[in-house]
Amino acid sequence: MSSPDLVTVVIPTYNHAGFLREALQSLKAQTWPHWEAIVVNNHSTDDTETVIESFADSRIRLENFCNHGVIAASRNRAIDLARGGYIAFLDSDDLWLPLKLERCMAAFRPGVDLVSHGLRWFGERSGDVYCGPHNKATFESLLLEGSCITPSATIIRTAVLRELGGFSEEPAVITAEDYHLWLKLAERGIGMVFLNEILGKYRIHAGNQSGSALRHMRAVQQVVAEFADHPKADGLRRGWRMRQRACLIAYGAARTMQHSGDYAGAWPLLGRALASYPFYPRIWAALTINCVVATRSFVTRGDGK
């Protein structure tokens, strides 16, 4: 039986013991005391279980669960086990600031089913990113412009998540399962609140960077294709708007390649973006970056002869 004021914090993890310790410390520092945490451990081979035991906190529950490479399955397992009236997501390599739960819970009221906030990137790159705003979180905007919500910045009513069946576990949408969920929520027309505050920290590191850029691009393409057949997308399926969406997807993958230093891998993606919609100005900036890098590489090779 769920408790209406309790927040169930869902923490999927695999071989992130060091990061997990920091994530749990940030959870323990919350000013909102009504929480439980379910750490869904995908049978890690490091000392994940020892880290959890070291906290000696009955609110932190360990669930060993084999997700077969589908993180959505781990999240859904925790949603099934949740006792709280609300679900919050905290990836094991991310952190929350102490007021995160208190500020988010204060924003819930009748008719509001999702609250989200800003995150500070740290690690290999830094910067602030804010979820929302409302005009970016409509069904149409999410479909045509991409996701503006991220799990570690979001709390959702448990009943809503269960009614919608949680996250998609389809292999074709792995890495974009959260985007798939936001579209389902927006299609339903749930009330969303976006706080203009930084209440968490998102870690940028090699493990969540873009060795998977192409896989993520294909997953996003799959999600867009699925929802493009929805009645609410009527009129959006043809013409420049879907071509522009295809451009944005390829461009995003190319930029991820560039951030990871794979400029050669970015070329075909930039070409695809350009062919889909050449009027997006950021493509030309990204092409310029690639040209500069290629020129420097050519000059360096020439100097070495």
Cα–Cα distances in angstroms (integers) from residue 209 to residues 11, 15, 260, 266, 288, in the given order? 19, 16, 7, 14, 22
Cα radius of gyration rounded to whole Å, the chain: 20
CATH of the domain at 48: 3.90.550.10
% of the chain with per-residue pLDDT over 90:
84
Between 34 and 236, the more confident residue is: 34
Identify the pLDDT of residue 123: 82
Number of helices (H), then strands (E), in the chain? 11, 9
C-alpha of 98 from chain center? 21
pLDDT band at 305 (very low <50, low <70, confident <90, very high): very low
Q: Count of residues for the chain? A: 305
Q: Considering only CA atoms, which of 139, 147, 133 is closest in space to residue 234? A: 139
**Angle, helices 213-228/177-188, rounded to nearest 10 degrees:** 20
Distance CA 44, CA 19 (A): 13
Asked if 122 and 241 sit in the same domain, the reply is: no
DSSP-derived letter for residue 225 is H
pTM higher than 0.85: yes
Burial of 130 (0-12, 13-18, 19+ CB in 10 A): middle
Which of 164, 184, 204 is the last residue before a domain boundary? 204
Asked if 197 and 251 sit in the same domain, the reply is: no
Asked if 243 and 112 sit in the same domain, the reply is: no
- Count of domains for the chain: 2
CATH of the domain at 280: 1.25.40
* Stretch among 16-25, 145-154, 235-244 having the lowest mean pLDDT: 235-244
Asked if 158 and 262 sit in the same domain, the reply is: no
Q: Token match 């399926």: residue?
A: 237
Asked if 153 and 215 sit in the same domain, the reply is: no
Which of 182, 204, 226 is the last residue before a domain boundary? 204
Distance CA 29, CA 121 (A): 20
Asked if 197 and 225 sit in the same domain, the reply is: no
Asked if 272 and 127 sit in the same domain, the reply is: no
Asked if 217 and 184 sit in the same domain, the reply is: no
Q: Token match 């739960």: residue?
A: 101
Question: What beta strand segments (E) does the chain contain?
Answer: 3-13, 35-41, 60-64, 84-89, 95-96, 114-123, 127-130, 154-157, 192-204
Asked if 173 and 29 sit in the same domain, the reply is: yes
Which range of residues forms the domain containing residue 13?
3-204
Asked if 216 and 190 sit in the same domain, the reply is: no
State the Cα angle at 90 between 14 and 129, rounded to 5°.
Answer: 120
Which of 162, 185, 204 is the last residue before a domain boundary? 204
pLDDT at 45 over 50: yes
Q: Considering only CA atoms, which of 86, 268, 123, 304 is closest in space to residue 204? A: 123
Asked if 167 and 271 sit in the same domain, the reply is: no
- pLDDT tens-digit readout, 236-263: 555 688 899 999 999 999 999 998 899 9
pLDDT band at 303 (very low <50, low <70, confident <90, very high): low
* CB proximity list for 264: less than 8 A, separation 6 or greater: none
Tokens, residue 65: 């669960």
C-alpha of 163 from chain center? 21
Asked if 29 and 142 sit in the same domain, the reply is: yes
CB-CB contact of 290 with 270 (8 Å): yes
- pLDDT tens-digit readout, 159-182: 999 999 999 999 999 999 999 999
